[in-house]
Amino acid sequence: MNKAQLVVISGPSGAGKGTVCKQLLQEMKNLKLSISATTREPRIGEVDGVNYHFTSKYDFEKQIPADSFFEYAKVYDNYYGTPKQYVIEEIEKGNNVLLEIDIQGALQVKDKYPEGVFIFILPPSMKELKNRIVGRGTETKEAIEKRFNSALKEISYVKQYDYCVVNDEVNEAVASIKSIIIAEQCKVKQDIKNIILKFKEELSC
Amino acid sequence: MNKAQLVVISGPSGAGKGTVCKQLLQEMKNLKLSISATTREPRIGEVDGVNYHFTSKYDFEKQIPADSFFEYAKVYDNYYGTPKQYVIEEIEKGNNVLLEIDIQGALQVKDKYPEGVFIFILPPSMKELKNRIVGRGTETKEAIEKRFNSALKEISYVKQYDYCVVNDEVNEAVASIKSIIIAEQCKVKQDIKNIILKFKEELSC
């Protein structure tokens, strides 16, 4: 059995990442959700450490050069980032960690932690995506073309991922991701030397 | 969804490959068993095309230079081999094909068909393996040493495989292999260009 994994769920908007991740967390006991840090103000009902780790701008900016984030981004005037420490601690405890993130963020994570498992979720139906692109029919051909090209560009990032799951049916998509996590733990990796060593020890009379 | 796969189940003797494969075939509808060809005489109760494809020596030897086998071996005076045609036909139909085979055979298959999924099964318990090695206690230290080294050598082949499944509990081993087959079909491979092309076609207004 290999060590636990960082499982990165990503894909274009509208793919249903959120629904898939929610169900996955309910079904897999040893899967923990990575919680982002942010400098924006908590909204009503949001709990520190549950929805986000709410941090001051001063603290966040201090952690960037300390390489404390797998990825971070500044959106308008607020920072958002994935703290490394929690992920690494949980993996060391033997828990898999789930990170739901957009494509840009996932590619940053891959740069810093290529041993993660990168899963691309494709939208449930092309019809929906098409409707979103074509819009209400009141737009210019140029605007539609632009959205079309941007959707295509997003989808083409799939080739930088390890796995691709089409979210046609949530239960099936969740089952596929569970299979991917189990299979990854059966992969023969460099640390196979440990298996052989263990056998050697156990077998020595 | 990727195309169907050749799933090669292999490992040292005593790992319980047979039991695992039998249950796997019962549980997975689109998994077909690859049947070996042999030149040995059918035993009572053996059915041609079920237990083996019984072939004449003349036919078998003609097929070797025609590259009709993924692997073959001559044991005493009889040939045994894995015919390519059935495997390729079933994969083209969208069925996964299961090949249960010893380590030497699996490595030959890997040479000819590296795109297969190679799974190494480890024995259910080290105790059993140890008992087999130590034997009844009536043997010389040299004989035990020889068997110990041969078991170790067999197990060290694991590093040439894609996955390793410990057969502690048959149901769990079968579940892991099922997960591996599903995960393999979600892998992002070279033919990802087809996904993008398909999207392009479906999306074009």
Taking only the tens place, the pLDDT of each residue in A105-124 is 999 999 999 999 999 998 87
For residue B87, how far is the Cα from the chain centroid? 12
Residue A57 belongs to a domain: no
Lowest mean pLDDT among A21-25, A139-143, B23-27, B178-182: A139-143
Q: According to the 3-state scheme, what is the secondary structure of A113-175?
A: CCCCEEEEEECCCHHHHHHHHHCCCCCCHHHHHHHHHHHHHHHHHHHHCCEEEECCCHHHHHH
Please compute the mean of the pLDDT values over residues A149-177 and round it to a whole number: 90
Whether B155 and A199 lie within 8 Å, measured CB to CB: yes
Q: Helices A141-156 and B192-203: crossing angle, nearest 10°?
A: 160
pLDDT at B131 over 80: no
- CATH value at residue B157: 3.40.50.300
Residue A20 belongs to a domain: yes
Contacts of A183 in chain B (CB under 8 A): 163, 176, 179-180, 182-184
Whether A183 and B166 lie within 8 Å, measured CB to CB: no
Whether A164 and B186 lie within 8 Å, measured CB to CB: yes
Helical ranges in chain B per DSSP H: 17-27, 57-63, 84-93, 103-112, 126-134, 141-156, 170-186, 192-203
pLDDT at B205 over 80: no
The CA distance from A68 to the nearest CA of chain B, in Å, is 30
Whether A158 and B183 lie within 8 Å, measured CB to CB: no
The CA distance from B80 to the nearest CA of chain A, in Å, is 29
Its pTM surpasses 0.90: no
Contacts of A119 in chain B (CB under 8 A): 186
Residue B20 belongs to a domain: yes
Residue B58 belongs to a domain: no
The CA distance from B103 to the nearest CA of chain A, in Å, is 16
Taking only the tens place, the pLDDT of each residue in B85-115 is 999 999 999 999 999 999 999 999 999 999 9
Residue A69 belongs to a domain: no
Cβ–Cβ contact A136 with B under 8 A: no
Cβ–Cβ contact A10 with B under 8 A: no
The number of distinct structural domains making up chain A is: 1
Whether A158 and B134 lie within 8 Å, measured CB to CB: no
Nearest to A188 among B151, B163, B175 (CB): B163
Taking only the tens place, the pLDDT of each residue in A73-110 is 999 899 999 999 999 999 999 999 999 999 999 999 99
From residue A148, alpha-carbon distances to A15, A130, A144, B47, B112 in Å are 16, 8, 6, 58, 42
Contacts of A159 in chain B (CB under 8 A): 188, 192
* Residue of chain A whose Cα is closest to the Cα of B121: A186
CA-to-CA distance for B39 and B10, rounded, in angstroms?
23
Identify the sign of the CA torsion B10, B13, B18, B20: negative
Contacts of B128 in chain A (CB under 8 A): none
Burial class (CB in 10 A: 0-12, 13-18, 19+), A53: middle
CA-to-CA distance for B59 and B108, rounded, in angstroms?
21
Cβ–Cβ contact B141 with A under 8 A: no
CA-to-CA distance for B27 and B25, rounded, in angstroms?
5
Residue B136 belongs to a domain: yes
Taking only the tens place, the pLDDT of each residue in B43-90 is 999 999 999 999 999 999 999 999 999 999 999 899 999 999 999 999
A120 within 8 A of A163, measured Cβ to Cβ = yes
Whether A205 and B144 lie within 8 Å, measured CB to CB: yes
Q: What are phi and psi of B119, to 5 degrees?
A: -115, 125
What is the complex's ipTM, to 2 decimals? Answer: 0.84
pLDDT level of residue B191 (50, 70, 90 thresholds): low
Residue B40 belongs to a domain: no
Exposure letters B168-203 (e unless 16+ CB within 10 A, then b): eeeeebbbbbbbbbbbbbbbbeeebeebeeebeeeb
A52 within 8 A of A41, measured Cβ to Cβ = no
Whether A203 and B151 lie within 8 Å, measured CB to CB: yes
pLDDT level of residue A16 (50, 70, 90 thresholds): confident
Nearest to B159 among A163, A188, A199 (CB): A188
CA-to-CA distance for A78 and A42, rounded, in angstroms?
12
- A80 forms beta bridges with A38, A73
Q: Which of A52, A5, A2 is nearest to A28 (CA)?
A: A5
Mutate to test the interface with B, among A10, A199, A200, A202 (most CBs of B within 10 A): A199
CA-to-CA distance for B17 and B161, rounded, in angstroms?
15
Cβ–Cβ contact A164 with B under 8 A: yes
The CA distance from B165 to the nearest CA of chain A, in Å, is 6
pLDDT at A1 over 60: no
Tokens of A103: 């494509």
The CA distance from B52 to the nearest CA of chain A, in Å, is 31
CA-to-CA distance for B50 and B32, rounded, in angstroms?
12
Q: Helices A141-156 and A126-134: crossing angle, nearest 10°?
A: 140
pLDDT level of residue B142 (50, 70, 90 thresholds): confident
From residue A9, alpha-carbon distances to A17, A22, A38, B42, B82 in Å are 7, 11, 20, 53, 40
* Residue of chain A whose Cα is closest to the Cα of B149: A200
- A10 forms beta bridges with A120
Cβ–Cβ contact B192 with A under 8 A: yes
Other C-beta atoms lying within 10 Å of the C-beta of residue A117: 21
Task: Look up the domain containing B191 and give its range.
Answer: 6-34+96-203
Residue B72 belongs to a domain: no
Cβ–Cβ contact B1 with A under 8 A: yes
